[in-house]
Amino acid sequence: MPQDANQFGGIFMMVILFALMYFMMIRPQKKKDKEVKQMRDSLSIGDEVITIGGIHGKIVKVNDEVVTLEMAHAKQRIEFSKWAVGSVAKKGKDKSEAKQEADDAEDTPAEEDK
């Protein structure tokens, strides 16, 4: 009888260790993967991004799997896979926001130097 209790104790410890490993390692990684996928799915024209290779650029074209980045100084365009985008440095403006800013700029008179 004590032999059976010892076997169940070992199995119980293995289950506890597996559950602990799941909650400490696997679950947070899945959450991070979900956030990265959401970030890559929400890429839009005008966003300033940093690739996993460290290249900074502004998105000028977005397809299903490919984004085209324009480099600031040389105005050169390079195509990257979406998975190569590491982070978004600055979100671009929506068309409605850009139009609103343009309308506000037209409505406010320029200050004259005295």
pLDDT digits over 12-33, tens only? 999 999 999 988 999 899 999 9
pTM of the model: 0.62
| Tens-place pLDDT, residues 39-73 | 999 999 999 999 999 999 999 999 989 999 998 77
The pLDDT of 74-90, averaged and rounded, is 91
pLDDT value at 84 more than 90: yes
Whole-angstrom Cα distance, residue 19 to residue 39? 29
- In contact, 49 and 90? CB cutoff 8 Å: no
Give me the residue label for tokens 């410890």.
13
